[in-house]
Amino acid sequence: MKLGVVPINVGVSTGRQVCGLARKAEECGLDSIWTFEHVIVPIDYASRYPYHSSGKMPIAPETPFVDPLIALSHAAAVTTKLRLCTGINILPQANPLLLAKQAASLDAVSEGRSELGLGIGWLREEFDANGTPFARRGARFDDYLRAMKKVWSGETVEHDGEFVQWSGFKSHPRPRQRPHMPIVIGGTSDRAFRRVVELGDGWFAPNKGVDDLRDQIGRLQRISTELGRDPDTIEITAMWTLVKEPDALSAYEDLGVSRLVVSLVATGESDPMAAIETVAAHG
């Protein structure tokens, strides 16, 4: 089982802090480090956060959120083996050409160690602040990602989609990994699972525990079979609340999970360095 930690970009405000966490994770033998993304945290919002019973993010608006790709580029400079992963970036509110360039650049400078986790987002107020429509963000996601893959090909880009119309250019460097860095798509709806099957290399599972994940994997496998894709070709990365399920690693393995990612605050440790050591001890 591969083990990772998240987030290495929240609650930090210096490159020294990011690099310290990355070095520690690599020294402890972890597989990967992950980031969260929010460009802003509204003071108040009507949108419901789907991963907490309160409907609110358990984080204050003034908490530092270092941009994921900037944080991971710092981590790339001080590590050699660690996988560098976004978990997840909100694709429909981004400029897809700029994100394609940044993601390819990270994979190039890290010599092929990045994984691009993407989702459709839930915070309407953040979309409003970015000047991007919240409606039909799933369709926008699909068009953006198909267009971005053409950018990563290194060939002349021709894409005439509903949301993106690009023609007659190339963008280099290409990602070091071929045909591109692994695309890990988040979400738990049936449409999200179809998106994973049709466009992704892996699935990022924001589950509530083993039993919850068992049902989700069953749905993913059913949809994968319906669409003609072998479910075993989809790598599953799941969140693991270590403090609540300390002995669940083998149960996740039995479900076919390839990687578990532990939130640093879900270890019971207040010191992030000690939290990394606690996660590594379960490997």
* pLDDT tens digits, 252-269: 999 999 999 999 999 999
Q: What is the pLDDT of residue 158?
A: 98
From the number of C-beta atoms within 10 Å of its C-beta (0-12, 13-18, 19+), residue 197 rates as: buried
How much of the chain, in percent, has pLDDT values that exceed 70? 100
Q: What is the pLDDT of residue 237?
A: 98
Q: What is the pLDDT of residue 223?
A: 98
The CATH number given to 2-280 is: 3.20.20.30
Report the chain's mean pLDDT, rounded to a whole number. Answer: 97
| Structure confidence by residue, pLDDT tens digits, 135-153 | 999 999 999 999 999 999 9
Confidence of residue 208 (pLDDT cuts 50, 70, 90): confident
| Neighbouring residues of 128: CB distance < 8 A, sequence distance ≥ 6 | 134
Q: What is the pLDDT of residue 232?
A: 96
Is residue 201 scored above 90 in pLDDT?
yes
| DSSP string of 39-108, one letter each residue | S---SS-SSPPTTSTTSS-SS-TTS-B--HHHHHHHHHHT-SS-EEEES-EEGGGS-HHHHHHHHHHHHH
| Structure confidence by residue, pLDDT tens digits, 31-85 | 999 999 999 999 999 999 998 889 999 999 999 999 999 999 999 999 999 999 9
β-strands 157-160, 89-90: how paired?
Answer: unpaired
How much of the chain, in percent, has pLDDT values that exceed 90? 97
Give the residue carrying structure tokens 């520690």.
Answer: 24
Confidence of residue 3 (pLDDT cuts 50, 70, 90): very high
DSSP letter (8 states) at residue 10: B
| Structure confidence by residue, pLDDT tens digits, 78-126 | 999 999 999 999 999 999 999 999 999 999 999 999 999 999 999 999 9
Q: What is the pLDDT of residue 53?
A: 87
| DSSP string of 135-198, one letter each residue | TTHHHHHHHHHHHHHHHHT-SPEEEE-SS-EEEEE---SPPSSSSSSPEEEE--SHHHHHHHHH
Give the residue carrying structure tokens 């204050």.
Answer: 60
* Cα gap 239→224, rounded to integer Å: 21
* Cα gap 79→41, rounded to integer Å: 30
